[in-house]
Amino acid sequence: MLLFFEECKVYDLSTAMFFAVSLGLLARGKFGQYYVLFPLACLNRETTFLLAILFTVYYFSRLERRDWVVGIAYQGFVFIGIRLWLMDTFAENAGVPFLFRLQENAADHVKYPWQSLLFFVAVLAVLWMCMRSWHTKPIFLRTAFAIFAPALMVLYLLFGWAFEVRVFAEMYPLAVVMATWEWLP
């Protein structure tokens, strides 16, 4: 919660909530409830597509082929439909669909070397806490982490703002569970 006080958008806390609940439902195989929640999560933030990727990878050999294909098709249809609807609804507003910021981010990281060092040390510390005792953690959590962490880092570098931690809201619930797995009941 403290990470949301520095720089936050109205949808950041709900992003963490949608991802936490969605991960819990997927881990328990409660697809009906997950499918109801998925459109709301898509309305909240476009990175919800990461949940569909997790579903695709994790359940590839765990579901009947028909159920797996239907699940992917549903999530793809919902995500693309909502994304197109939102883009059409807000087409007359100023702005662009994607703001590519790789050069600006690199320049800011060079301009503020101590902040950059602190930021990347913090990222590495979180990664270490999540990855220690890797094989003792459930395969579902490891799969989610292996998909979300690199994807969000690439999205951050390409489209985020330097030193912005709120863009990792999707990872917060997963990182907390991964980092504290040994102490959970």
One digit per residue, pLDDT tens: the chain, 185 residues?
Answer: 555 556 667 778 889 999 999 999 999 999 999 999 999 999 999 999 999 999 999 999 999 999 999 999 999 999 999 999 999 999 899 887 778 889 999 999 999 999 999 989 999 999 999 999 999 999 999 999 999 999 999 998 898 888 888 888 899 999 999 999 988 87
Under 8 Å CB-to-CB from 87, ≥6 apart: which residues? Answer: 97
Collect contacts of 178-183 with beta carbons under 8 A, ≥24 apart: 178/129, 178/130, 178/131, 178/137, 178/141, 178/145, 179/126, 179/129, 179/130, 181/133, 181/136, 181/137, 181/141, 182/133, 182/136
State the pLDDT at residue 5: 59
Q: What is the pLDDT at residue 127?
A: 94
What pLDDT, on the 0 to 100 scale, is given for residue 94? 86
Supply the angle between the helices 139-159 and 102-111 in degrees, to the nearest 10: 90
The answer to whether 6 and 165 are in contact (CB under 8 A) is: yes
Give the angle subtended at the CA of 81 by the CAs of 78 and 83, to the nearest 5°: 105
Q: Is 133 left (phi over 0), alpha (psi -120 to 50) or beta?
A: left
pLDDT at 2: 56
Q: What is the pTM of this model?
A: 0.89
Residue carrying structure tokens 């703001």: 99
Q: What is the pLDDT of residue 98?
A: 78
Q: What is the DSSP letter of 163?
A: T
Q: Which of 28, 19, 85, 30 is nearest to 52 (CA)?
A: 19
Rounded (to 5) percent helix, strand, coil in the chain: 75, 0, 25
pLDDT given for residue 79 in this prediction: 98
Domain assignments of the chain as residue spans, ordered by start: 3-183
Give the model's pLDDT for residue 166.
80
Q: What is the pLDDT of residue 165?
A: 81
